[in-house]
């Protein structure tokens, strides 16, 4: 914060006759910083689905704090998550269509299809493998065909149409992207940086720090789902969730600033990857938990644990990557609106 204030004060005190050659850092790339990212359809879909899961998590926490999930209501949490996922599909469609419209995209059909299937297809593949093994072992954990048909019906006749409807609203109710700076046709060359300023190091930092904020609570969450224990501290979980989002936003802003200071304007995807990498650290913790804290063994239990955990980590990536993107976008708009361009 102090570094940014110092930069802004120094920029505002510059003489009007200062030459562009004296510029360096994040100011010199103002003609490239709002250059749209590659793979706009995928980018927009990630943001849309990330917003959807932020809505789902918020709704679940509200229900939990209100006392809807008790020991006597088995399966109420999963049922609520499924219903919320179906009816918040409009959020994914709207935000994806809105971002894609601002990017001046043209492949609208592909954007909607990608948004609707970005989470559904990976989840269905992993769930099908796990359920097939459960059927083969003859366990009661395998879902019957009737339940499968109900879930497919909800996605096909509720989730998918709402995604299309949200995408239509997002496309028609949004104007073009309003960038504070003009973007040149030819992109400037990005200078090389030291190893400790590379995108890989930023990804490690951006993932580890938010993970450290929730590492203690993760043990109780994993014990609840996999250790058959009861978790009722939903108020604390809500506070931890707010802390997670706040830390993710702050770290994303800081790492984006250091990236721009190195004259690297490719922040769009980096803001998602660095913030979403928290999901990777959650998966690494899951490996530690499985071998050192749980008593689960066997092919089916191993498949269930790592299959569903990988889905949860994927949700973390989508959700926190979205938080990192919007935080970085708001920050970049702020700093480039508040400087004088030559």
How large is the C-alpha radius of gyration of the chain?
22
Nearest to 155 by CA among 94, 202, 86, 92: 86
Domain spans, the chain: 29-118+138-176, 194-342
Q: Average the pLDDT over 185-212 and give the result.
A: 90
Residues 41-92: tens digit of each pLDDT: 999 999 999 999 999 999 999 988 887 876 556 577 888 899 999 999 999 9
Judged by average pLDDT, the poorest of 34-48, 143-157, 259-273, 280-294 is 143-157
* Count of CB atoms situated within 10 Å of the CB of 70: 11
Q: Average the pLDDT over 318-327 and give the result.
A: 97
Checking if the pLDDT of 168 tops 90, the result is yes
Checking if the pLDDT of 105 tops 50, the result is yes
Q: Average the pLDDT over 289-295 and give the result.
A: 88
Q: Are 180 and 336 a contacting pair, CB within 8 Å?
A: yes
Q: In the block, which residue shows the tokens 């800081």?
A: 254
Q: Average the pLDDT over 158-184 and give the result.
A: 89
Report the C-alpha dihedral over residues 12, 15, 19, 25, rounded to 10 degrees. -20
> pLDDT tier at 20 (50, 70, 90 boundaries)?
very low
> pLDDT tier at 125 (50, 70, 90 boundaries)?
very high
Q: Average the pLDDT over 136-156 and give the result.
A: 78
Q: Average the pLDDT over 282-294 and give the result.
A: 92
Three-state SS string across 226-288, please? Answer: HCCCCCCCHHHHHHHHHHHHHHHHHHHHHHHHHHHHCCCCCHHHHHHHHHHCHHHHHHHHHHH
Q: What is the pLDDT of residue 41?
A: 94
* Count of CB atoms situated within 10 Å of the CB of 48: 32
Q: What percent of the chain has pLDDT over 70?
A: 88
Q: What is the pLDDT of residue 324?
A: 96
How confident is the prediction for the chain on average, in pLDDT? Answer: 87
Checking if the pLDDT of 244 tops 90, the result is yes
**What's the token pair of residue 212?**
């450290």
Q: How far, in Å, CA of 281 to CA of 176, rounded?
A: 36
**What's the token pair of residue 140?**
């009661």
Q: Are 260 and 26 a contacting pair, CB within 8 Å?
A: yes
Q: Average the pLDDT over 134-148 and give the result.
A: 75
Q: What is the pLDDT of residue 19?
A: 47
Q: What is the pLDDT of residue 112?
A: 94
Q: What is the DSSP letter of 157?
A: I
C-alpha dihedral sign at 129, 132, 138, 139: positive
Direct distance between the N- and C-terminal alpha carbons of the chain, in angstroms, rounded to an integer: 24
**What's the token pair of residue 104?**
């001046």
Q: What is the pLDDT of residue 330?
A: 94
Q: In angstroms, how far is CA 127 from the centroid of its own chain?
A: 21
């Amino acid at each position: 914060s102090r570094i940014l204030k110092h930069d802004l004060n120094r920029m505002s005190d510059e003489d009007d006759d200062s030459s562009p050659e004296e510029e360096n850092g994040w100011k010199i790339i103002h003609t490239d910083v709002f250059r749209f990212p590659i793979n706009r359809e995928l980018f927009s879909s990630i943001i849309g689905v990330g917003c959807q899961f932020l809505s789902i998590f918020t709704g679940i926490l509200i229900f939990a704090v209100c006392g809807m999930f008790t020991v006597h209501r088995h399966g109420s949490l999963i049922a609520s998550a499924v219903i919320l996922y179906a009816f918040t599909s409009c959020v994914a469609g709207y935000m994806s269509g809105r971002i894609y419209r601002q990017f001046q995209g043209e492949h609208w059909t592909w954007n909607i299809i990608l948004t609707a299937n970005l989470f559904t297809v990976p989840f269905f593949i992993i769930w099908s493998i796990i359920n097939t093994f459960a059927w083969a072992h003859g366990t009661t954990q395998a879902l019957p065909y009737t339940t499968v048909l109900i879930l497919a019906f909800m996605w096909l006749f509720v989730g998918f149409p709402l995604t299309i409807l949200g995408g239509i609203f997002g496309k028609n109710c949004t104007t073009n992207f309003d960038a504070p700076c003009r973007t040149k046709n030819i992109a400037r060359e990005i200078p090389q940086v030291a190893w400790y300023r590379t995108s890989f190091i930023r990804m490690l930092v951006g993932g580890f720090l938010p993970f450290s904020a929730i590492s203690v609570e993760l043990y109780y969450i994993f014990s609840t789902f996999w250790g058959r224990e009861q978790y009722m501290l939903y108020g604390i979980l809500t506070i931890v969730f707010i802390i997670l989002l706040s830390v993710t936003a702050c770290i994303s802003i800081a790492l984006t600033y250091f990236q721009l200071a190195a004259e690297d304007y490719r922040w769009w995807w980096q803001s998602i990857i660095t913030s979403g990498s928290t999901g990777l650290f959650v998966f690494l913790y899951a490996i530690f938990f499985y071998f050192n804290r749980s008593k689960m063994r066997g092919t089916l239990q191993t498949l269930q644990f790592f299959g569903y955990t990988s889905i949860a980590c994927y949700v973390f990536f989508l959700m926190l990557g979205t938080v990192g993107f919007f935080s970085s976008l708001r920050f970049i708009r702020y700093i480039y609106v508040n400087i004088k361009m030559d």
